[in-house]
Amino acid sequence: MKRLLILLCEALFCITLYGCSATSDEQIASFESLSYKERAKQLQSLNNLEELGRVAIIPLKKGAHSLPSVNVTYRYKKSSFAIEFTGPMGLQYAKIEVYQNGTTYLNLMGENYKGDNARQLLIDEFNLDIPIMDLPAIMIGTPRGKLTFDEKGYVTKAQFNGYTVNYKDYKFYRGGIPLPKGIEILSPKAKVLLRINEVTVIN
């Protein structure tokens, strides 16, 4: 009985704090029965999302910014989103905060920058051109553009404005919400590889 209580407490702790409760077959089937438009509407109704993972930036042309694999934290709220790159011992390499009106704050190794065009600020100060304003949609697997789907209706590829986004796989989280685990963003000058290892907040 004592062992059972311990297991129940551990499961409750996991569900409450980390959103790692098991998704039932019924929840998966229910989601997969939806059209893409219905899926996108459900996913875009999320108010808060926090994901932890690893990211690497690989230059495709001379002079493009490069970044070895580092830790990444992605935080989304309805009014803003932020991306933080950290290394060993929590050393912050960069942090980007973007608000709905386009106002962007960039901290790059302790140097602070501000702009009203997120994409241009990244190009000017980080030498990185990615569809930054599309990131909230990309992170939940509902990108715009010309879309390619797998046999279960999940987006595997998106092409728009000279960018390509590839998705590797998806995982279901609390409430029957599927999110991409592997994301590749290709721009004319660089490739961004993102792997999500943990979802800590989802509602």
pLDDT at 61: 73
Structural domains of the chain in order of their starting residue, each with its CATH number: 36-202 (2.50.20.10)
Model confidence at 7: pLDDT above 70: no
pLDDT at 126: 86
Distance of CA 70 to the CA centre of its chain: 15
Q: What does the pLDDT look like over 171-187, one tens digit per residue? A: 999 889 999 999 999 99
- DSSP-derived letter for residue 23 is P
Q: What pLDDT band is residue 23 in, cutting at 50, 70 and 90?
A: confident
Q: Is 59 helix (H, G, I), strand (E, B) or coil?
A: strand
From 181, 176, 198, 202, select the one nearest 24 (Cα to Cα): 176
